[in-house]
């Protein structure tokens, strides 16, 4: 279709998962329960950190921001998906789709850098404990968190600008349950070169750099732990990192599986891999820190007793 004859679409159709009514009801209940657990877990973590004096440390300051990002990223996707299950109308306005891309990409990259910041925090705590309070000062923590949000903002703005230059003429059907930048680029009828360059550059510069911080930090942490002579010392040092290491493994594992794995012959399988990354991960993170962290469990016990 010639670009001059293009009639820009004003609404996209999200195909979701299935047209079967019974399956839709089952999925609605399942995702509703997942979303409620996500809301309660992340909001509860934020409130617990703010209310507990023993959790006023850099690690929990970063964790509170991670919980906030998970809360927002789940909210930008799951409620719309639940409404689609109930109403049967799976349309989303062009402006709403652009907004969803912007916010989701902003929060996704912010989470990458927050996890990198938390890895650096654990590196300082394990490898340089004597200067920990000096290095991880309140001002430094604020700057690290602010930088994480700014990197996310840069990613969100870059993807949104690239999306605004695309034309959508022949098809408005997105074979997914939310507006994903990769799906939209594939759907476009205009030249996709610039959008693909922006997408790959952002992933390379921002995503890879944050991943390298995590990797290098944990290489140094493991090296330090192995140099400790006593088994009790090794156990104590490693215990300070287990929750974060588990969270990092789930986040990067699901994101790599979602975006870097070969496309499956089954579209349903691809959709469920995206669910794992976008819906399940924000729910699991607060559970990891509440179930595996003694300080969090102790703070919760004291708060309940009060």
pTM: 0.88
13 bridge partner residues? 91, 173
Handedness of CA 168, 174, 177, 181 (dihedral sign): negative
174 bridge partner residues? 14
Q: How far apart are CA 286 and CA 183, in angstroms?
A: 29
* The token pair that represents 39 in the structure block: 């809301």
Give yes or no for a contact between 188 and 195, defined as CB atoms under 8 angstroms apart. Answer: yes
DSSP, collapsed to helix, strand or coil, labels residue 93 as: strand
**Strands of the sheet with 173-174, listed across from one edge:** 91-93, 11-14, 173-174
Q: Which residue has the tokens 């989303």?
A: 92
Backbone angles phi, psi at 139, to 5 degrees: -65, -45
pLDDT digits (tens, 9 = 90+) for 66-106: 999 999 999 999 999 898 888 877 788 888 888 999 999 99
From first to last of its 306 residues, what are the pLDDT tens digits of the chain? 445 566 677 788 888 787 778 888 898 999 999 999 999 999 999 998 998 888 888 989 999 999 999 999 999 999 998 988 888 777 888 888 889 999 999 999 999 999 999 999 999 998 998 999 999 999 999 999 999 999 999 999 988 888 887 888 767 788 888 888 888 888 887 777 777 888 778 777 887 888 899 999 999 998 988 888 877 777 877 777 887 888 888 887 777 766 655 554 444 556 777 888 888 889 988 888 776 677 777 777 777 776
- Residues 194, 197, 199, CA angle at the centre, nearest 5°? 110
DSSP, collapsed to helix, strand or coil, labels residue 190 as: coil
User: Which architecture, in CATH terms, is 11-305?
Assistant: Up-down Bundle (1.20)
Q: How far apart are CA 251 and CA 244, in angstroms?
A: 10
DSSP, collapsed to helix, strand or coil, labels residue 77 as: coil
Q: How far apart are CA 117 and CA 214, in angstroms?
A: 8
pLDDT digits (tens, 9 = 90+) for 146-176: 999 999 999 999 888 888 878 887 677 888 8
The predicted structure's pLDDT at residue 196: 80
DSSP, collapsed to helix, strand or coil, labels residue 12 as: strand
Q: How far apart are CA 210 and CA 112, in angstroms?
A: 6
């Amino acid at each position: 279709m010639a670009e001059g004859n293009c009639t820009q679409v004003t609404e996209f159709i999200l195909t979701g998962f299935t047209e079967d009514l019974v399956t839709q009801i089952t999925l609605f209940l399942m995702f509703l329960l997942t979303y409620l657990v996500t809301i309660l877990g992340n909001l509860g973590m934020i409130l617990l950190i703010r209310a507990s004096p023993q959790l006023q440390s850099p690690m929990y300051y970063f964790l509170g921001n991670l919980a906030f990002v998970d809360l927002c990223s789940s909210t930008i996707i799951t409620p719309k998906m639940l409404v689609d299950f109930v109403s049967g109308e799976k349309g989303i306005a062009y402006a709403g789709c652009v907004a969803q891309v912007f916010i989701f990409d902003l929060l996704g990259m912010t989470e990458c850098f927050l996890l990198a910041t938390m890895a650096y925090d654990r590196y300082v705590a394990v490898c340089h404990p004597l200067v920990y309070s000096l290095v991880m000062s309140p001002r430094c923590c604020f700057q690290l968190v602010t930088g994480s949000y700014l990197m996310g903002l840069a990613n969100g703005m870059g993807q949104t600008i690239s999306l605004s230059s695309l034309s959508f003429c022949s098809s408005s059907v997105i074979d997914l349950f939310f507006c994903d930048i990769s799906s939209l680029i594939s759907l476009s009828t205009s030249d996709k070169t610039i959008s693909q360059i922006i997408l790959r550059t952002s992933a390379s510069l921002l995503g890879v750099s944050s991943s390298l911080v995590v990797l290098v930090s944990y290489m140094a942490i493991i090296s330090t732990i192995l140099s400790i002579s006593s088994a009790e010392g090794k156990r104590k040092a490693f215990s300070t990192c287990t929750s974060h290491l588990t969270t990092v493994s789930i986040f990067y594992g699901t994101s790599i599986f979602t975006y870097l794995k070969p496309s499956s012959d089954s579209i349903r399988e691809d959709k469920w891999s995206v669910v794992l990354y976008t819906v399940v991960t924000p729910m699991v993170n607060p559970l990891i820190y509440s179930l595996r962290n003694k300080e969090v469990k102790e703070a919760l016990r004291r708060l309940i007793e009060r």
